[in-house]
Amino acid sequence: MKIEKLKDEINCIWKKKEQGKKIVSKRDVSTIMETIKNLDSGKVRVTEKINSKWILNQWVKKAVLLSFQVTEQKIIANGPGKSYWWDKVPSKFEGWKKNDFAKAKFRIVPNAVVRKGSFIDKDAVIMPSFINIGAYVGSATMIDTWATVGSCAQIGKNCHISGGAGIGGVLEPLQSSPVIIEDNCFIGARSEVAEGVIVEEGSVLSMGVYISASTKIVERKTGKVFYGKIPKYSVVVPGSFNDKKSKVNLYCAVIVKTVDEKTRSKTSINELLRN
């Protein structure tokens, strides 16, 4: 089914759901699962950049939510100690053989959890981490150990999401956009980016930076305050902010400079690790 046709069908199914009708027809279920399949292969995305602006595809989020409604929980094998999991969303790699991995051209390390409906581009490296349904991981990006990529989160190419970092996802409300990490970004260990924040191209977050939609992002040089967006090529560290009306300093993120050669040398992607 063509993408525009899928979009129309998903919107019609969603209207049925809003009217309290059960989604039971084979056609409806097939349409929903075809959309998830297209998410999994990267043919559709929850958000996409059009004319330099990120556009949210609500219909794709609707399909993800509908998939939970039409899918039954089942046993998922290969848990620790010969145990099992009990869930609705299977592994992305369920049924994969050697040829499937060879065709996909990315590396997946044992104990990484990647759910069906997420996309991983070629030359990416996935360490033992968690990637949720609807997420997008660009080419030559590394998701390091114990990092989390939330539902529908978007990560560009040539990025490094360091150990224990959290990239927030969002399914509801429908109009909310997920976190977007643009190309060539470095997210430091144990950092957290949530609530639809956009980290623009080439930016570097140091270790332990926490940014939500309401976090002040202060440019040290000018004092300018941003919310919900890290300007491109920014170097960001944790800081504190005092509005002079209070004796209490509150947490903020501080843009200390723009990316220079010294920063690039410290955060550059090692191509040897991507081969």
Task: Say which DSSP state 80 is in.
Answer: G
Cα angle value 159/166/208 (rounded, 5°): 90
Q: Supply 274's token pair.
A: 């991507």
SS3 content of the chain, % helix, strand, coil (to 5): 25, 25, 50
Contact between 108 and 124 under an 8 Å Cβ cutoff? The reply is no
Contact between 127 and 108 under an 8 Å Cβ cutoff? The reply is no
CA dist list (Å): 166 to 73, 110, 121, 198: 27, 20, 20, 14
Return all residues near 31 (Cβ < 8 A) that are at least 6 apart.
Answer: 1, 6, 9, 10, 13
Fold topology of 3-70: 1.10.166
Give the DSSP H or E segment for 86: strand 85-87
pLDDT tier at 157, thresholds 50, 70, 90: very high
Taking all residues of the chain, what is their mean pLDDT, rounded to a whole number? Answer: 93
Of the candidates 121, 123, 182, 192, the residue annotated as catalytic is 192
Task: Say which DSSP state 91 is in.
Answer: B
Residues of the chain with CATH 1.10.166.10: 3-70
pTM, two decimal places: 0.93
Distance between CA atoms of residues 267 and 260, nearest Å: 11
Distance between CA atoms of residues 25 and 138, nearest Å: 35
Residues of the chain with CATH 2.160.10.10: 101-260
CA dist list (Å): 148 to 46, 56, 156: 18, 21, 15
Bridge-based pairing of strands 47-50 and 53-56 is antiparallel
Give how far the C-alpha of residue 25 lies from the chain's centroid of Cα atoms, to the nearest Å: 31
Burial of 70-97, coded b for 16+ CB within 10 Å and e otherwise, reads bbeeeeeeeeeeeeebeebbebbeeeee
Looking at residue 213, its pLDDT comes to: 96
Which CATH number is associated with domain 101-260?
2.160.10.10
What does the pLDDT look like over 158-214, one tens digit per residue?
A: 999 999 999 999 988 888 999 999 999 999 999 999 999 999 999 999 999 999 999
Of the candidates 28, 144, 182, 200, the residue annotated as catalytic is 144
Active-site annotation holds for 169: yes
What does the pLDDT look like over 32-72, one tens digit per residue?
A: 999 999 999 999 999 999 999 999 999 999 999 999 999 99
Active-site annotation holds for 183: no
Of the candidates 117, 134, 166, 169, the residue annotated as catalytic is 169
CA-wise closest residue to 108 among 170, 117, 96: 96
